[in-house]
């Protein structure tokens, strides 16, 4: 992704002073939606996330905005398509070597990939 980071000084309803965007995606808003009480909102946010999270620059901003903890929560507790999109996003984040600090035994067990836990424990 060759989009550049843009910082807007607009105030949002939660009084955060900056809106961080990359291309047409408002990263701040996307992270906010990942923590929504509504499943449909979370599902759409994580669906959009999977197409951008593989860009290291986007991943950095996503992590700075607090998105990693929300993505981990979805990977641990979501179901259906929301779970599938969360795991895809998490996988793409790990491919750019970011987010490893959020890979714990409970996440590995949730995915159910034998041998991955031992790999994570020995390599990291």
Q: For residue range 2-61, list pLDDT tens digits in order.
A: 444 444 434 344 444 345 655 667 899 999 999 999 999 999 999 999 999 999 999 999
Instruction: Give the pLDDT score at 97.
Output: 85
User: Which residue do the tokens 């593989």 mark?
Assistant: 54
Beta bridge partners of 7: 20
Instruction: Tell me if 62 sits within 8 A of 68, measured CB to CB.
Output: yes
C-alpha span between 105 and 22 (Å, rounded) = 32
Q: In the chain, what are the domain boundaries?
A: 5-123
CATH number attached to the domain at 5-123: 1.25.10.10
Residue among 102, 104, 96 nearest 121 (CA): 104
pLDDT digit string (tens) for 51-109?
999 999 999 999 999 999 999 999 889 889 999 999 899 889 888 988 777 777 777 77
pTM metric for this prediction: 0.71
Instruction: Give the pLDDT score at 122.
Output: 59
Query: Residues for the chain: how many in total?
Result: 124
Instruction: Give the pLDDT score at 18.
Output: 47
């Amino acid at each position: 992704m060759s989009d550049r980071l843009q910082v807007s000084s607009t105030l949002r309803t939660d009084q955060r002073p900056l809106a961080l965007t990359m291309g047409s995606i408002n990263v701040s808003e996307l992270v906010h939606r990942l923590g929504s009480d509504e499943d449909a909102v979370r599902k759409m946010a994580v669906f959009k996330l999977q197409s951008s999270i593989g860009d290291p620059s986007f991943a950095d901003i996503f992590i700075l905005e607090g998105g990693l903890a929300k993505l981990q929560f979805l990977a641990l507790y979501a179901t259906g398509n929301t779970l599938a999109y969360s795991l895809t996003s998490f996988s793409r984040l790990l491919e750019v070597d970011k987010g490893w600090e959020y890979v714990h035994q409970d996440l590995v067990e949730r995915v159910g990939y034998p041998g991955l836990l031992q790999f994570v424990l020995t390599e990291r």
